[in-house]
Amino acid sequence: MTAAPPALLERYRRLLAQPREPFPITLGEGSTPLIRTRRLGAEIGLEELYLKYEGTNPTGSFKDRGMVLAVNRAASSGARAVVCASTGNTAASAAAYAAAAGLPCFVVLPAGKVARGKLAQALVAGARLVMVDGNFDEALAAVRRLGDEGVAAVVNSVNPDRLDGQQTAAWEVCDALGRPPDALALPVGNAGNITAYWRGFTRYAGEGLIESRPRMLGFQADGAAPIVRGEPVAEPETIATAIRIGNPASWAGATAARDDSGGSIESVSDDEILAAQRDVAHLEGIFCEPASAAGVAGVRKLASGGRLHRSETVVCVLTGHGLKDPDAVQAEEGSLAAVAPEVDAIRSAMGI
């Protein structure tokens, strides 16, 4: 029998912790698979395309990497409660870690724009949900005010512990490959993750653990692309609700990551996102949520435009699990009609 890998914060304690800092709360976050694609890479025209599948985190998204650090520190510093604004996954993660810590959790969400699975996760863990008749950006502004008033510890990515913890994903990618990739692609919403990955690669380079850093390739949805346009979007709209954000908190971090790495931040359409989500599932058997597929959609676009060379090592981060948002899957409803439970009828329904 092999022992479970040590908890994420213990594994990277040297890079993250204060001396003798305790991390009693863990749900088994991190150590997510880096999967070398066989069919998807061939289809896109890349010989070495990897998927960093963050859907295997305890609450099904990469948010757990930073939340575990933020909630450990909130608990050890005597916070009475935690609070966050969320498009869904931050709420699911905060609710779970707060439950484990025995802290009340408040989440502020844009009404009608949160995927069903994410709501269920926050509810079952006992978080108190407040729906606002507004978007994520407005919810975050209010939550920051509540934090300033000392009502509760804010565990959005404006909390530096969140981005510190999220660096671990960059370290895992390098550890798994034995080197950094040439390029790393991911969706950009509030822009914390692209900021954290770049910081992580830069830290590893500073420690002498890698010799180069990848180009950072960020992708927003066409209807929620403030960084691409160079100005906030007042009413962001996309089927990829996790990146439905019009005024990213880590805007400056994202543009620095883009410019310092020689990368780019571009946008993709909802149709391209849904096609990429389907292809990741059809060709590799991995179910990610729509936002997660934005990086794959973007890589396809760059590769077909000759802006990624086929021999480059490319990693796409699949940020969250598809089961969180089953409603977004474009199903072929017709094939679900029932037939008689008889071999002939079933054979004919199978089309054989």
Output b/e per residue, 49-63; b: 16+ Cβ within 10 A.
Answer: bbbbbbbebbbbbbb
**What is the contact mask toward ligand PLP in residues 35 to 64, using x (rule: CB under 6 A)?**
--------------------------x-x-
CA dist., res. 93 & res. 237, Å (int): 23
| Of the candidate residues 66, 147, 165, 187, the single one contacting ligand PLP (CB under 6 A) | 187
Residue 190 binding ligand PLP, by CB under 6 A: yes
Instruction: For the CB of residue 25, give the shortest distance to ligand PLP in the complex, in Å.
Output: 20
x-or-dash string of contact with ligand PLP, 61-80, rule CB under 6 A: x-x-----------------
Q: How far apart are CA 85 and CA 8, in angstroms?
A: 25
Q: Which residues pair with 183 in a beta bridge?
A: 215, 314
Which of 40, 152, 243, 303 touches ligand PLP by CB under 6 A?
A: 243
Q: How far is the CB of 281 from ligand PLP (least distance, A)?
A: 15
- The answer to the question of residue 189 lying near ligand PLP (CB under 6 A) is yes
**Cβ proximity to ligand PLP, 45 vs 232, nearer residue:** 232
Q: Where are the alpha helices (DSSP H) in 125-191?
A: 136-148, 160-177
Distance (Å, whole) CA 49 – CA 113 = 32
Q: Does 291 bind ligand PLP (CB under 6 A)?
A: yes
CB of 288 to ligand PLP, least distance (A): 8
3-class DSSP state for residue 83? strand
How far apart CA 103 and CA 173 sit, in angstroms, is 32
Q: Which is nearer to ligand PLP, 89 or 264 (CB)?
A: 89
Contact 186, 218 (CB under 8 A): yes
* Amino acid type, 28: G
- Residue 115 touching ligand PLP (CB under 6 A): no
Residues near ligand PLP (CB under 6 A) = 61, 63, 89, 157, 187-193, 242-243, 289, 291-292, 319-320
